[in-house]
Chains A and B, each alone.
Chain A
Amino acid sequence: SFVLTQPPSVSVVPGNTARITCGGNNIGSKSVHWYQQKPGQAPVLVIYYDNDRPSGIPERFSGSNSGNTATLTISRVEAGDEADYYCQVWDSSNYHVVFGGGTKLTVL
Chain B
Amino acid sequence: QLQLQESGPGLLKPSETLSLTCTVSGGSISGSTYYWGWIRQPPGKGLEWIGTIDYSGSTYYNPSLKSRVTISVDTSNNQFSLNLNSVTAADTAVYFCARALPSATGINWFDPWGKGTLVTVSS
Contacts and interface: CB of A to CB of B under 8 A. Distances in A.
Contacts of A28: none
Contact of B46 (A31, A42, A94, A99): A99
B52 interface: yes
B106 A95 contact: yes
In this complex, the interface size class of chain B, counting residues with CB under 8 Å from chain A, is 20 to 34
B47 A90 contact: no
Contact of B47 (A31, A86, A92, A94): A86
Interface string B97-119: 00001010111111111111000
Interface stretch (A12-20, A43-51, A67-75): A43-51
Q: How large is the interface on A (under 10, 10 to 19, 20 to 34, 35 or more residues)?
A: 20 to 34
A79 interface: no
B111 A96 contact: no
Contacts of A86: 46-47
Interface of A: 1, 31, 33, 35, 37, 41-45, 48-49, 54, 86, 88, 90, 92, 94-102
